[in-house]
Amino acid sequence: MMAWCRIHFNLNLSSPSDSALIPHTCHSHTPSSSSSSSLFRTTTRKISLSSAQRRSCVAVSSHMTMEEKPVSDNRMLVYVPPHPLIKHWVSVLRNEQTPCPIFRNAMAELGRLLMYEASRDWLPTVAGEIQSPMGVASVEFIDPREPVAVIPILRAGLALAEHASSILPATKTYHLGISRNEETLQPTIYLNKLPEKFTEGSKAFVVDPMLATGGTIVAALNLLKERGVSNKHIKVISAVAAPPALQKLSEQFPGLHVYTGIIDPTVNEKGFIIPGLGDAGDRSYGT
């Protein structure tokens, strides 16, 4: 029997301007040997944030319960799939001794797994019948008339999105180039290959390996919003996420879904996730 495990995260960001409580919810499939009861443990931990502007403290409270009720569309959801292969590739990425080709391959494999998880119960399908060698069979295919937009944010997003076409039968890829000022940490858009308007109901994967301060991903999502893509039709794919980025996304994009390999506790004054995995672009391409 397969059951849904729903993990609730409450991030309360204490800062000079008191921020609101931010709910996050993670879902994962877990096998259950009993249909009656399961035991889960409640934990609370504190996370320190640092940035050029302020130092803050995030209290993260989590608990896990067995549920089948759908989650409100107005809540941003953060998914950390508990798959051992995801943990493996995140570990390879973290290792400072990992050479560039292996790092890039690990990023691609992690992206494949996260997109597989993110596409569950989300892709449009068409049903019909076909003739197999042994008889007529009822079948279901991904609808090729509704390709998923895959939007990697250059340049590290290219590595994380590398295997998108191998797991998604129908895709269109649109590149976004966004750089971050190393002093102000503000994003600058230098390449935009998005269409002027997306068709109604379009689904999109926005692929950004590092969700640190949140400036880059917010800029990208605003471009999609301007072009008619709703929050509930966007899924963000990242290797590592941190609370400052999740804070911004939760405040500005209700209904958004984020899939990440891991959530790290800290962002330093230079805008890098700690412990993180370094500069994903430099380590992917050796420059």
pLDDT for residue 139: 95
CATH of 77-123+138-285, one of 3.40.50.880, 2.60.120.20, 3.40.50.2020, 3.40.120.10: 3.40.50.2020
pLDDT tens track for 40-80: 233 333 333 333 333 333 333 333 333 444 555 688 999 99
pLDDT at res. 48: 38
pLDDT reading at 235 higher than 70: yes
Average pLDDT over residues 71-97: 90
Pairing of strands 176-180, 148-154: parallel
Q: Tokens at residue 97, please?
A: 């001794």
| The residue to which tokens 């494949």 are assigned | 112
What percentage of residues in the chain have a pLDDT greater than 70? 75
Q: What is the pLDDT of residue 72?
A: 55
Interval 123-128 mean pLDDT: 91
Tell me the pLDDT band of 39, cut-offs 50, 70 and 90. very low
- Whether residue 117 is predicted with pLDDT greater than 90 in this model: the reply is yes
Q: Tell me the pLDDT tens digit for each residue of 167-187.
A: 898 899 999 998 887 777 788
Torsion of CA 175, 181, 184, 186, to 10 degrees: -10
pLDDT of residue 268: 93
Domain coordinates in residue numbering, the chain: 77-123+138-285
Average pLDDT over residues 26-42: 37
